[in-house]
Structure 1
Amino acid sequence: MTLKPAVFIKSTLTLAVLSANYALAANDADNNFSLPAIVVTSGFRGAAIQEVPTSLTVVNDQVMEERNADHLEDLINLAPNVNSSSGASRAKYFQIRGIGERSQFIGPINPSVGVIMDGIDMSNIGGAATMLDAQQVEILRGPQGTLYGANALAGLINIRSNDPTTVTTGNIETTISTYNTRRLSAAVGGPINDSVGYRVAFESNKSDGFTENDYLNKDNTNNIDEALFRGKLRIEASDYHMIDLTAFYANIDNGYDAFSLDNTRTTLSDEPGHDRQETSAFAAKSTWTGHDAFTLETSLSYSDSDLEYGYDEDWAYDGFHPWGYNSFDNYIRNNKTTTAEARLISAPNAEIFNATTTWVTGLYYYNRSSDLQRQYTYLPNDFTSEYDTTRISAYGEFETSLSEQYILTTGLRIEHSESEYKDNDGAFSNPEDLLVGGRAALEYLVNQNTTIYGLISRGYKVGGYNANGSLPDSLKEFDTEYLWNYEVGSKNNWMNNRLQTQISLFYQQRENAQIKGYRTIANPGGGTSFIDFVGNTDEAYSYGLEAEARWEVNTSVSLFGSLGLLNTKLEDSSAAFDGREAAQAPSYQYTLGANFNHGQGWFSGIDIEGKDEFYFSDSHNQTSEAYTLLNARLGYKTKDWSVTLWGKNLTDEDTYVRGFYFGNDPRTGYADTLYTQLGAPRQLGLTAKMNF
């Protein structure tokens, strides 16, 4: 069911009226309340969200709990113009303002959207981006050329977990829900001695999934089976020196049996696929404040991930049809990522240029290696490849108070990138590039509650090599992409900080936009296989609006909402997508919700979220359907424990997280057909949590 505009307006007004009536009826004797302060930590300095001159969304632990979120994919729809795609057991690929990857097969990819978790680069291993003991998720829209460089062309997602505390605290949480879903998590932290604190967290997440395999008579071939651990230490080495250590481990053994020849949640696969990941990661950060002029921050991170992704290519069993074929495609990767950074940040009262300007400067090192082994039915020998990329960058940023009301921020990043690719087909590529990005932002402080800003920023994404010998030479390599972003916005506090709003308008121009394409080839035994590749289009641009609001009406009612409007355009006279919108870029998406405190420990909440239809791919013109989802929760809590009954997608709408268009059904003579991976159906669950 698609929510028509009139129905959406009616639903919105009804929710608003009910909330307002509830608010007026509530006992409002105590008016001394306000929204909690939100500090953004993904920048060079921690800053209040109202002071950061860019469009961003911050999701705190309270909102994560309200949504019963256990993975980043459960939060993405809260952020305007931010989406995710699957084609796997989890959403691994993210798109901001219509820019971002949607899948990975043979070729190495450099992500358009960076994902950082506790200082660890998770951009290529997003399946492990869980909300285990998470404190805050920050989603920055637009290029982060100064802050992060090549892996943040479209934006950055920063996940921060709870730090060690000076007193012992912890929690245990368990969830049971439909589809035999069971989740258990626990976290505890506190002081070891006067100088060392710790925090450890663990989670086990299991589910049979939403697919039934009629051929194998199983209901768990698309299952979830995840175990995660995180440990943190905070060491006060001296009065001027703080050391933070983080260790992370993920063991994921999920099934992947999501596509059906009949576009349902019932499959006929005789070899159900899998989506496995084992990640070990470590991060260390040192903060030294022993100099009057600056703070020295140094950091180091390393991750080692073994990934295995495989699927039944024919989606059926041997003998399903006289014209049928039977094949399996499997990708085994080992990804290693190392980062190192040294940063100087000006200390308070150490401003330069007549005490008007704070400054930051730093050096950054990045190395990623990715070794692939592809096992495929129609390959006589396994395909293997090796990819290695190294980047070294220098950056700096000034924040200048031009007057009491105007602040100018200017930043520049220069990055040298060198990659090497080779495979057992004899292909070799060794591109090298010098990349330049940055930003200039002007803030106007209207008063203590209102800030207006204008922003120009430039991001980049390195070129690369298409790893497939079946492609012509003209498609083997693709060039570096640059993105110019022009943005104006306003951030406001109203009603003594009971209402917070932010709104931005943006225009983005892409140079040498990297667009994913596909070619299909006939299998020897029947059916069709994909050849995916990346090419550069002639011209691409986008523009739109992003708005968010949160209102503490009184101590009993809070309202929240967001709206994203997006118009994208791709132009290339030689391509099928010429003159149309980019893939995974709905023209609108929104959320609207209310939370209620009924007193004596009882609480409830309701929200709707929706988005317009969108193209599944840049290589064909098939689209999803627009949808609206209804979620609700009811619970009881005390100081030490809580119980919540919740429901997601209560009207059981069909949503789509991935779509392909090709011939794969022998019953139709392998006629081209849209095949879709369906999102989660209605889910009902119960979550209990104890704090100590």
Structure 2
Amino acid sequence: MNSSLCFNTRTKPLAGAIGLASALVCTSVAADTGVEEVVVISQLRATTQLDTPTSVSVLNTDTIEARGATNIEQLLNLAPNVNFASGASRGRFVQIRGIGERSQFIDPVNPSVGLIVDGIDFTGLGLAASTLDMQQVEILRGPQGTVYGANALAGLINMTSNAPTAENFATVSAEAARYGSHTLSAVTSGPLSEQLGYRFAVQQQQSDGYVHNRFLDRDNTNNINETVARGKLQYQAGDDLQLDFTLFYLDADNGYDAFTLDNSRNTLSDRPGHDRQQTLAGAVSALWTGHDLFTVKSVVSAATSDTEYGYDEDWVHVGFHPDEYVSTDNYLRDRDNLSVDLRLVSTDGSRLFGGSTSWAAGIYLRTEEEGLERNASFSSQFDTDNAAIYGQLNTALSERLELITGLRVEQRRADYRDSLLVANNTDETLWGGNLTLQFALDEYTLLYGTVSRGYKAGGVNGRIISASATNPAIGSDTFLFDTEHMLNYELGVKGNWLENRLKAQLAAFFQDRSDVQAKQSIANITSDGISFDDYLANAAGGRTTGVEAEVNFQASDALRLFATVGWLNAEFEDFISSAHVDARNDYTGEVTPIPLGGRDVAHAPNYQFFTGAEFALTQNLVARVELEGKDDFYFSNSHNEKSTAYELVNARLTYQGDNWDISLWGRNLTDEEVYTRGFYFSNQFGNNPANGYAPEGYYQLGEPRTAGISGSYTF
């Protein structure tokens, strides 16, 4: 290959990431081994990643272990154009291509990013996204309107744990790290009979966290304390029927004490917060192949979760403020959901139109009840029922060209009521789908183009309805918000070249959002000052343009290189925000709407990247180095505070014996300061008497430099 086509990377991290992704094809080292084939199982039919005509990242067991991840938040930076917001003990809210919620307080949330774990719907419950004994994590970008419908406007995270094995084994693992962190886990699996296999995994993780509470003289007020257990049974009931049973348990009792007046890791709160969740969930899936014309796949799942989220609202202790101001906030939520998905998938004997078209069709039912109690003074109940039918046709137009058409029609009913006598219900019919052309350029290369439509249900603004009794500026037009829709246009290429040593995918997309659900506020100006009542409105359109690339290259038997790069331009269109605070023109008693058309949406960095290498120093010793980073981004659509751009360096050294391994690892080795959540306090809401309550921004800090040792032993 002509070396003039290779990039010479210098010091800029983004240029270096792109340069590495491009330079991979310039390496000519011979390799006998190839990159492992990855199968995507979240679609209607299981296909290899490179035969799936959509932008999807698949993170397998090896990647999860090399990352040292115990929760999905520690994997999200590996996927292009994926971000998350903290505001709690972990990153509970995910944004894909700039779309996704960033917090939840009083009003119910209709999520934009779905979370499915072993067929169980944990959308909005990020603490349940444990990576314990996980087979793979699939991050699908773009609306999943055919297969998943509501709660997947921006995309979906699908997690699948390992299945029972045909042979007995047991593995124990342990890890110790800075900040009092230690994790113990165990996995055992094997056959109970010729037809029945089992698998059981359990993990206990504890960490003091990296915050010191100077007022209480404690180092564990932002701690992690989580116990996770998962049991699976696989029963071969007959030659044509397989049943899989999953039971999941989570007990998380984490602290939340993150914000400080000087943006440090030294807090002053006298009543630190908490982020707790107890979950018991289960699923039964069945695969029946007893008919010549179709296969039946079904999943029935149920989950019950009790969560408690609270924090010291003033961030300090009694006596710090001259008037001894003190405040806390606490949210107790109980959520129960039940879902049923029944699907028929065609066989070769039932292909349509002269054998050119395979098909899949299904029905989906879901009911969820969510109860909220806030500070024992406010309660609400939010119940939803979803019923959908969906189908997809895969039509071979020629030997290399295939047309995929999918459609989903969903009926959704939502009922809301609260202790302030607000009651409302919505009932709407939603639809989404996709139209895709894929072309096999040769046996190694796939080209595709797709148009997909997603939706996010409308709802009720319970808080603004109750506030209307005391704020005459609130009109009835703010009580409800409409459904948001999005059209996604995407072109992509995927390939598997150089004798299976180089795998890559590249996607370019344009997303057109209509009736965007955006936060607004109405001021309530009284003699005591200004307060604001928030609500969701359909005040904006939005357009997003972006590119995503992933490369995995087995350069030699000893060296593997990998890189992902995302570029994103996500903007509002014709959006006038009544909630925006500008530090240069702060509130002085009047509220002036601010035009945000052309402004980047919150939590949508213009670029992000992840790149690295694994090198086998000897037959048993493997070194891994990673570089990850992202551009700055707005924390909110209601103020101008931004994160800072950052680059993190991670490393891991692993020795693998016959039935054991041990690793030394470090994350954020250069100790970069990373912001994961941010707020702006105007001079009407100043928080720090030391500077005269002047306007300023406050930030929640991400993980500092940390290091540890981990190991496992298999019996």
**TM-score when scaled to structure 2?**
0.92
Q: How many residues align?
A: 678
Give secondary structure in 1 for the equivalent of 2:62: helix
2:20–2:563 Cα contact (<8 Å) kept: no
What is aligned with 1:146?
146
1:312 is matched by which residue type in structure 2? D
Q: Aligned match of 2:628 in 603, 609, 634?
A: 609
Q: Distance in 2 between matches of 1:231 and 1:644?
A: 27
- The answer to whether structure 1 residue 470 and structure 2 residue 467 are counterparts is yes
Q: Distance in 2 between matches of 1:600 and 1:448?
A: 33
What is aligned with 2:342?
342
Give secondary structure in 2 for the equivalent of 1:537: strand
What is aligned with 2:291?
291
1:321–1:667 Cα contact (<8 Å) kept: no
**TM-score when scaled to structure 1?**
0.95
What is aligned with 2:499?
496
- The answer to whether structure 1 residue 405 and structure 2 residue 410 are counterparts is no
Give secondary structure in 2 for the equivalent of 1:332: strand
1:82 is matched by which residue type in structure 2? V
What is aligned with 1:58?
58
Q: Distance in 2 between matches of 1:631 and 1:522?
A: 50
Give secondary structure in 2 for the equivalent of 1:399: strand
Q: Which runs of 5+ in 1 are unaligned?
A: 376-380
What is aligned with 2:215?
215
Q: Distance in 1 between matches of 2:434 and 2:509?
A: 14
What is aligned with 2:487?
484
2:564 is matched by which residue type in structure 1? S
| Structure 2 CA distance for partners of 1:407 and 1:18, relative to 1, 3 Å | closer
2:517–2:540 Cα contact (<8 Å) kept: no
2:199–2:232 Cα contact (<8 Å) kept: yes
Q: Distance in 2 between matches of 1:586 and 1:69?
A: 23
What is aligned with 1:420?
415
2:610–2:626 Cα contact (<8 Å) kept: yes
Q: Distance in 1 between matches of 2:312 and 2:226?
A: 22
1:231–1:246 Cα contact (<8 Å) kept: yes
2:145–2:433 Cα contact (<8 Å) kept: yes
1:200–1:232 Cα contact (<8 Å) kept: yes
| Structure 2 CA distance for partners of 1:100 and 1:197, relative to 1, 3 Å | same
Q: Which runs of 5+ in 2 are unaligned?
A: 1-8, 469-473, 578-593
- The answer to whether structure 1 residue 586 and structure 2 residue 605 are counterparts is yes
Task: Measure how far apart 1:342 and its partner are.
Answer: 1.2
1:8 is matched by which residue type in structure 2? P
Q: Distance in 2 between matches of 1:251 and 1:522?
A: 44
What is aligned with 2:379?
384
1:89 is matched by which residue type in structure 2? S
2:412–2:428 Cα contact (<8 Å) kept: yes
Task: Measure how far apart 1:632 and its partner are.
Answer: 0.6
1:105–1:532 Cα contact (<8 Å) kept: no
Task: Measure how far apart 1:299 and its partner are.
Answer: 1.5
What is aligned with 1:636?
655
What is aligned with 1:509?
512
- The answer to whether structure 1 residue 679 and structure 2 residue 702 are counterparts is yes
Give secondary structure in 1 for the equivalent of 2:462: coil
Per-residue CA deviation, residues 117-168 of structure 1 (Å, 9 max, x unaligned), is: 0000010211121101001000000000000001100001000000011111
| Structure 2 CA distance for partners of 1:489 and 1:425, relative to 1, 3 Å | same
Give secondary structure in 2 for the equivalent of 1:658: strand
Q: Distance in 1 between matches of 2:135 and 2:278?
A: 24
What is aligned with 1:569?
571
What is aligned with 2:428?
433
2:21–2:562 Cα contact (<8 Å) kept: no
Task: Measure how far apart 1:631 and its partner are.
Answer: 0.4
Q: Distance in 2 between matches of 1:274 and 1:522?
A: 33
Give secondary structure in 1 for the equivalent of 2:467: coil
Q: Distance in 2 between matches of 1:307 and 1:394?
A: 32
Give secondary structure in 1 for the equivalent of 2:617: strand
Task: Measure how far apart 1:237 and its partner are.
Answer: 0.7
| Structure 2 CA distance for partners of 1:200 and 1:432, relative to 1, 3 Å | same
- After TM superposition, list the pairs within 5 Å mapping 1:218-229 onto structure 2: 218-229=218-229
2:625–2:649 Cα contact (<8 Å) kept: yes
What is aligned with 2:39?
39
Identity %: 45
2:541–2:575 Cα contact (<8 Å) kept: no
Task: Measure how far apart 1:352 and its partner are.
Answer: 1.5
Q: Aligned match of 1:7 in 12, 16, 28?
A: 12
Q: Distance in 2 between matches of 1:50 and 1:13?
A: 21
1:307–1:334 Cα contact (<8 Å) kept: yes
Per-residue CA deviation, residues 581-637 of structure 1 (Å, 9 max, x unaligned), is: 110000000011000011131110101000000000111111111000000111211
What is aligned with 1:378?
none
RMSD between aligned alpha carbons?
Answer: 2.2
Higher mean C-alpha deviation, range 678-687 or range 350-359: 350-359
1:518–1:619 Cα contact (<8 Å) kept: no
Higher mean C-alpha deviation, range 526-535 or range 334-343: 526-535
2:233–2:246 Cα contact (<8 Å) kept: yes
Per-residue CA deviation, residues 90-133 of structure 1 (Å, 9 max, x unaligned), is: 11110000000001000111110000000000102111211010
- The answer to whether structure 1 residue 459 and structure 2 residue 454 are counterparts is yes
Q: Distance in 1 between matches of 2:269 and 2:621?
A: 46
Task: Measure how far apart 1:529 and its partner are.
Answer: 7.5
Q: Distance in 2 between matches of 1:572 and 1:157?
A: 31
1:540 is matched by which residue type in structure 2? G
Task: Measure how far apart 1:11 and its partner are.
Answer: 5.4
Task: Measure how far apart 1:173 and its partner are.
Answer: 1.0
1:23–1:556 Cα contact (<8 Å) kept: no
Per-residue CA deviation, residues 376-434 of structure 1 (Å, 9 max, x unaligned), is: xxxxx610000001010001100011111101100000000110001111111101110
Q: Distance in 2 between matches of 1:217 and 1:183?
A: 25
| Structure 2 CA distance for partners of 1:9 and 1:588, relative to 1, 3 Å | closer
Q: Distance in 2 between matches of 1:544 and 1:14?
A: 18
| Structure 2 CA distance for partners of 1:259 and 1:166, relative to 1, 3 Å | same
